[in-house]
């Protein structure tokens, strides 16, 4: 059973508009959440994270929102740029879980930003 779900395999957005990528999780023990970005033939690149003590974290054009009651997080990219086109992975963990707290990844959402 998947503990981290990204239900949209793909998303297409016009350049300059907002991209919203969604992620749901089932394990209430998760307290640390991350977004990674992956280009073809490259490894995932860490983008932004959020601890469960917060409901929002912002870094430039990227903002992650966490709704603990709904077990839902989202990544907002605004404005979207063609260089943002990539696969975005959501991940969750128990930060102090030691070897039991490893990152659990979703299947990814492929974002296409059209000029």
Using CB under 8 A, pick the residue from 13, 21, 23, 34 that binds other proteins: 34
Q: Rounded to whole angstroms, how far apart are CA atoms 100 and 58? A: 28
Question: Least CB distance from residue 32 to other proteins, whole Å?
Answer: 5
Closest to other proteins by CB, 43 vs 83, is: 43
Q: Does 69 bind other proteins (CB under 8 A)?
A: no
- Interface characters, 38-67, with other proteins (x: CB under 8 A): ---xxxxxx--x------------------
Strand pairing of 109-114 and 10-14? parallel
Q: Rounded to whole angstroms, how far apart are CA atoms 81 and 16? A: 6
Contact at 8 Å (CB) between 66 and 90? no
Q: Does 17 bind other proteins (CB under 8 A)?
A: no
Q: Does 101 bind other proteins (CB under 8 A)?
A: yes
Please, what's the b/e burial string for 52-71 (b: 16 or more CB within 10 A of its CB; e: otherwise)?
Answer: beeeeeeeeebbbbbebeeb
Contact at 8 Å (CB) between 106 and 90? yes
Question: Least CB distance from residue 47 to other proteins, whole Å?
Answer: 10
What does the binding site for other proteins look like in residue numbers (CB under 8 A)?
Answer: 2, 4, 31-32, 34, 36, 41-46, 49, 89, 93-108
């Amino acid at each position: 059973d998947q503990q981290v779900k990204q239900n949209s395999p793909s998303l297409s957005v016009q350049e300059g508009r907002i991209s919203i990528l969604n992620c749901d999780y089932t394990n209430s023990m998760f307290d640390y959440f991350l977004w990674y970005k992956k280009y073809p033939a490259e490894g995932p690149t860490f983008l932004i994270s959020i601890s469960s003590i917060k409901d929002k974290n912002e870094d430039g054009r990227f903002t992650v929102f966490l709704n603990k009651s709904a077990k839902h997080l989202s990544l907002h990219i605004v404005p979207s740029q063609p260089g943002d086109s990539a696969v975005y992975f959501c991940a969750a963990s128990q930060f102090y879980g030691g070897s039991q707290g490893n990152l659990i990844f979703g299947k990814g959402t492929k974002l296409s930003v059209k000029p």
